[in-house]
Every structure is written in C-alpha cells, then in structure tokens.
Structure 1
Amino acid sequence: MATTTDQAVRHLLDEGRARARRLGPDQVRLWDALARSAEGGKRFRPALVVAAHDALGGTRQEAAAATGAAIELLHTALVVHDDVIDGDDVRRGRLNVSGTFRAGAREAGADAGGADALALAAGILAGDLALATAVRAVATCGAPRDVTERLLDLLDAALHTTAAGELADVTLSLGLGAASMAESLGAAERKTSAYSFALPLQAGAVLADADEDTVERLGEAGRVLGIGFQLVDDLLGVFGDPARTGKSTTSDLRDAKQTPLLVHARSTSQWARLEPYVGRDLAADDLAEARALLTASGSRAFVEALAARHHASAVRTVEELDLPVDVLGPLLTSFGLDEAAA
C-alpha cells in the first residue's frame, strides 16, 4: 500500500523526534514545538507533488510522497522563520515556536528581554532543523541518483528565490519609498510561488521523468498560481476571519506591508483617509473603517480580479499540456475569500 503524504510527513516528524530524544530533553522540547507548527494546514504542497507525478504517469509513488513531505517541512521551516522576522507569536490560532518558548520563559520567571532572546533563538534554531530535515528527506527519497540531484537543484533554486523574496518583502516594509505594483507582485512571486507551487509541480514532473519543457511549463503554471494564491492571502490578511484562517487581520496593516492591496489603494482618492490606519495597531472599529475604505477605493475588487486572472492563466497552461486541471490541487480550483489560508 502506497504511503500517503500525511503518513510521510508524520514519518519525518517521528524520525526527528527519535533523533532529538538521543540528544536530551531540551532538544525534544524544541522539536516538539516544531512538530506542532507542522500540524494543520491543507497539505496542498505534497498534494501538488503527487498530483503532477501521477498525472504524468509516474511510478515512483513512495519517492513522490517522501518528496512532498520534505516540501511540506520546508514550508514549516520558512513559516517558523517568517514568524521570527515578523515578530509574531501566534500561527493558526495557537502559539508558534517563538511564542511557546517566550511564554515558557516568562512562566519560569525570565524578564521580557530574556524571554525575547529565547523566543528568537528557538524560532531560528527550529526553522534550521526543519530545513536540514527537508533537504535530507529529498536526498534520501529513494529516486535514482540523477533524479535526486535534479530535485535537489530545484530545491536549492527555490530556497534562494524565497530568501530573496522574503528580504524584498521586509525591505518594502521599511517605508523608504512607495513600491510599484510590479515590485509588490515580484516580492510575492519570489516569496511564495517558488517553493509552494512551482517547486512541488516541477518535483512531481521530474519524479515522473517528464521532459524538460513540461517541467519548465509546470513551473510557470506554479509561478502564476502562487501569485494568485498570495494575492488571496493578502486579502485574507485584512478581510479574513482569524478563527478560520489562523491569520491576523491587522498585522499586514500594522507592519505597512506594501502588498498589491495597499499599493493599489495608494493610487486612489481614498488613500488620504486610509493612510492613518496603516503602520499602527488597530482596534476593531479602526479595522472596520480600514476595510470599508479598501472596499470603497476599489482596491479589494482589483486584487480579487487580479488573483482570478492568475488562476485562469495557470489553468490554461495545464490544459495546454493536456493534463487534468485537478493537477493544481482541490484547494486551488477556487480563489474565493471563503477559503482559509494554508
């Protein structure tokens, strides 16, 4: 019986905990906090690997499941590091790695500075552990050597691209200048599309021994799909329900992130009224007013339409390859705001 992606993810986490136990209780505590961060979500990244592999007639089901689990753990690593960068203690409605260690330190009597230092260290170290485990999982997925080397090349390229996107995202938030729409979309493409969409689709194709043109075109489909997904995620970051998404609806505005939503709003007549709500903590009434202004300005509708166009472009590319549209995954067939962020 073939290993499911959930089983493959659980196997990676269990193996990591077994290694941690040999090193001592502090290592177990760090790994367990990381494992909790990997819980939940829709697992669409490993689903994309398996879907692409199967649609292209691949026969390496175990290797596809293992590679999908590795990419899911890569996602966990990047999320843990992203929370450190953003200074967030909560993810999916519960304490993340940094939040867990910060709370534990305060309960033990540490002062705020000491708790902050431990939270920062724990987030960085846990993310590093997840990254190393993800790379190891790809390297030992069981595929032939040339296929594994190609997978590692794809993983390396995705990591470099994602790091550049994360740095661009933070740089744009410095407020040193107004970002253009192209700059904002470019940051989204590099930060999200590379590892969450292009990498899984291309990995599945490589595991199925697809030709290079197919691998490249699936990467393009993933790129535009990922931009669309990030656009919806940006909308959820303001208009979503935190109880469903596990995502704050004030942090993007508080951090003045130059998402396409705000970049577009800056070009409208509503910006003068909206600007005072950007760059600070917002109470419920403030958030309601900011939402109303983003809607009245047409910025919400603009981003929704832009996301839909990117989704449609990805679908066209897949159809041109004579692959079923569901290779893009069940989560991605609709880009409505009723979907929770992964």
Structure 2
Amino acid sequence: MTLSTWTTAQPATGLSTADGSRFDASVRHEISQIVDGYKKDAAAYSPATAVLWDRIFTSLEGGKLTRPRLVKLGHDAFGPQLRPDHPREQTAGNRIVLLGCAFELLHTSLLMHDDVIDRDFTRRGRPTLSAQYRNDALAAGQTVPDAEHAGHSAAIIAGDLLLAAAISLALRAGSPLAQAAAIERSFQLAIHNAGAGELEDLLYSLDYSPAKVQDVLRMEELKTASYSFRFPLQTGALLAGASPAEAAALADIGGQLGVAYQLIDDVLGTFGDPSKTGKSVDSDLREGKSTILTALAAEQPEFGENLKLLRTRTATPTSLRSALAAADAESLARQLAKELCEGALYSARQLDLPKTVSAQLKDFAALILNRGA
C-alpha cells in the first residue's frame, strides 16, 4: 500500500545534504516532542496508554519522511526560500514542519489500520505494534485467536490516537492564516481518499473477477497516492499562499507520481526480492489483491480462470505468479509507471516552477522507476 518506511533515512531528495538533514532533524524532533507530550498526559490517567505511546513512537522511528519533504517541496514551489534566522520566516518554517509531521502521523495511523485489515504482524521485516500486544497476550496465557484479536485491537486504538493527533497538527499549522480552511479541507480529503481506496481494495479482493485497469488506477490513486503525494504537495503549496488553482495543478503532478510509485510497489510485491523489500512476494496473491499486475493480465481470459482457482484454494501463488509472468504483466506495469512519471514531469514544466523544485520532482520520478525496495 505504502512508501518504504523501515530504511535508514537519507538526505531529502533534491536538497543539499545540509538543508535536507536540518529539515529531517526538525521533523524528527517535533515528532518526538509531540509523542512525549501525549505520553506524559496519558501517564496521569492511564499508565497502559503511556506504554502504548511508547510503542507508537517506535513505529514512527526510522521513516524516510517522504511526506514531510513533499509538504516542503509544495511550499518551495510557491513560497520564498526561508532563512532560519529570520523570525517571520522561522514561523513559516515551523508551520511546514508541523504540517509535515501531520502527514507523517497520518501515514503511521493508516499503516496500523492497514496491518489489521491485512492481518499482518510484520512490516518491513519488523514486528508491528499489533505483534507486540499479541505477544503480550500469548505470554499471559491467551489463545492464539484471542491474542491476535488483542494485538489488532491495540493497533486500531493506536491508529485512532495518531489520526486525532495528525488532524490537530494540521489545524495548528494552518491557524490563523487566511488559507487555513483550504489546508484543513485538503488534509481531510487525504484521510477520506485513503479510506475510500482501502474500502475499494477490500471489496475488490472479495470478487472472483479481478478489477479492471482503470479501476485499479483509481483505487491506488485514492488509497496511497493521494495522502502520500497529492495532498502533501497541495497543502504545502496552500501554506505558501498559492492559489487553489496553482495548488491543484501541483497536486495533480503528485497524483501521477504517487500512482506510479504504487504500480512499482505492486511489481515488487510480486516479483521483488523479499530480502530488500521486507515483504513476502506471496501475500498479495494469497490475499487475492487486485493490483495493476492482475488487472493487466486479466485482459487475457485464461488468467481470470487462474485467479478464480487461487481464490477457491485450488491454485498456488507460485502458479499465479507464473501466469502473470507469461502475460508480461511486470513489463507492462513498469511501462505504465514510466508514462505516468513522464506525464508528471511534462505537467511540471508547464507550471514554470523554480529550478530546485523541478529538479526534486525529477529526482522523485527517477527514484520511483529505479527503486528495488
């Protein structure tokens, strides 16, 4: 579903190492302060919830901060280069950090809920928060089904707490600016789009017939591209004072890049190297996920029959992967991702963006198409 999380953080794409490191450090520090504040508050009324916030913080560590960087990129597209030593510009920089943190907390919230939906206890090779509470329950003598239920229940609660915190941060970042209502609306749309995409993904997995290509593209735009690319860029632009039309145009570029990212994620989820991706190449197939691979291959009638066999437990993920390979689904998906990135960069050129912003968008496109994890 999501962009890579559990990797060593790198300097922000397209920024100098110093600028990227400073921004990343500011975001990480703010997240640490936010979680510490909630933990201290919780300790006064619920020690168990204080422990939960400790575990939430562990889930927040180690991310690449892609969404906060895109918020900053959106701001840089329409705002002045900020000087950290200037009081007014320092305030603007703080708003960017707050809004970036809001998207990072939203991201982690959605990951936790996604783990429940997918019944996963590992992510990027690490135990999830669900797994920690499941293991606690097992150690206390609970049965496996009850322990797993406890783990997933804790993850739902943690995701809800993070979602509330993310909304609060987004509101703080926009207040009392004239564009506060537009920023709030944009952030709310990120949440609602992600929920809609998750629902469509779930319903497609229940259908014996794979979703069509256009259906999958729409679902992946809603589920992942919107909150990971489209709305971070849009809200960042709005924060800088861009007009709604300017912010929407930049958001469309983000939407194309985000869908391309998810298409490559689909490819890696079936044909990738688990030692690099940290995820099984069988899970999407076993769960009957409708991905761009299954949608492209389904244009060949014999593939649809193979998928039905998998869902009735009379075929294996290995046999379905072989059918996908025979349908040339991987190369078709990669070509589609390439076309989306090219379209995004073409649109970016029409906006006459600052050279540094254009360079970062180009770097993002290259990263998307060439990544292996």
TM, length-normalised to structure 1: 0.90
Aligned twin of 1:174: 206
For 2:341, the aligned partner's letter is H
Matches within 5 A, 1:114-193: 114-141=146-173, 143-193=175-225
Are the equivalent residues in 2 in contact too, given 1:97–1:123 (CA < 8 A)? yes
Distance in 2, Cα, partners of 1:36 & 1:338: 25
Matches within 5 A, 1:1-342: 4-58=26-80, 59=89, 60-141=92-173, 143-268=175-300, 271=303, 274-275=306-307, 278-279=310-311, 290-323=320-353, 324-328=357-361, 330-336=363-369, 338-340=371-373
Distance in 2, Cα, partners of 1:32 & 1:204: 29
Q: Deviations over 1:20-79 (max 9, x none)?
A: 333333102222222222222321100001122123224421101110111011000011
Distance in 2, Cα, partners of 1:225 & 1:331: 8
Distance in 2, Cα, partners of 1:277 & 1:253: 12
Q: Deviations over 1:126-168 (max 9, x none)?
A: 0000000101111222653433322111111121111111100
RMSD: 2.5
Give % identity. Answer: 35
My pick for the range that moved more, 126-135 or 324-333, is: 324-333
For 2:251, the aligned partner's letter is G
Deviation at 1:290, TM superposition (A): 4.4
Deviation at 1:187, TM superposition (A): 0.8
My pick for the range that moved more, 289-298 or 301-310, is: 289-298
Distance in 2, Cα, partners of 1:329 & 1:109: 53
Residues 265, 246 of structure 1: CA spacing in aligned structure 2 closer, same or farther, 3 A cutoff? same
Q: Deviations over 1:253-288 (max 9, x none)?
A: 0011111101112223762785488448999xx656
Residues 281, 336 of structure 1: CA spacing in aligned structure 2 closer, same or farther, 3 A cutoff? farther
Deviation at 1:331, TM superposition (A): 4.5
Q: Deviations over 1:216-244 (max 9, x none)?
A: 10111111111111111111111222332
Distance in 2, Cα, partners of 1:249 & 1:277: 18
Distance in 2, Cα, partners of 1:252 & 1:236: 11
Deviation at 1:329, TM superposition (A): 7.7
Residues 282, 24 of structure 1: CA spacing in aligned structure 2 closer, same or farther, 3 A cutoff? farther
Question: Unpaired runs of 5+ in structure 2?
Answer: 1-21, 81-88
Residues 244, 291 of structure 1: CA spacing in aligned structure 2 closer, same or farther, 3 A cutoff? same
Residues 130, 22 of structure 1: CA spacing in aligned structure 2 closer, same or farther, 3 A cutoff? same
For 1:79, the aligned partner's letter is L
Q: Deviations over 1:279-302 (max 9, x none)?
A: 48999xx65654444223111111
Deviation at 1:82, TM superposition (A): 0.7
Distance in 2, Cα, partners of 1:142 & 1:329: 28
Are the equivalent residues in 2 in contact too, given 1:5–1:69 (CA < 8 A)? yes
My pick for the range that moved more, 36-45 or 223-232, is: 36-45
Are the equivalent residues in 2 in contact too, given 1:48–1:328 (CA < 8 A)? no
TM, length-normalised to structure 2: 0.83
Residues 22, 146 of structure 1: CA spacing in aligned structure 2 closer, same or farther, 3 A cutoff? farther
My pick for the range that moved more, 295-304 or 4-13, is: 4-13
Residues 247, 11 of structure 1: CA spacing in aligned structure 2 closer, same or farther, 3 A cutoff? farther
For 1:209, the aligned partner's letter is G
Aligned twin of 2:83: none
Residues 281, 84 of structure 1: CA spacing in aligned structure 2 closer, same or farther, 3 A cutoff? farther
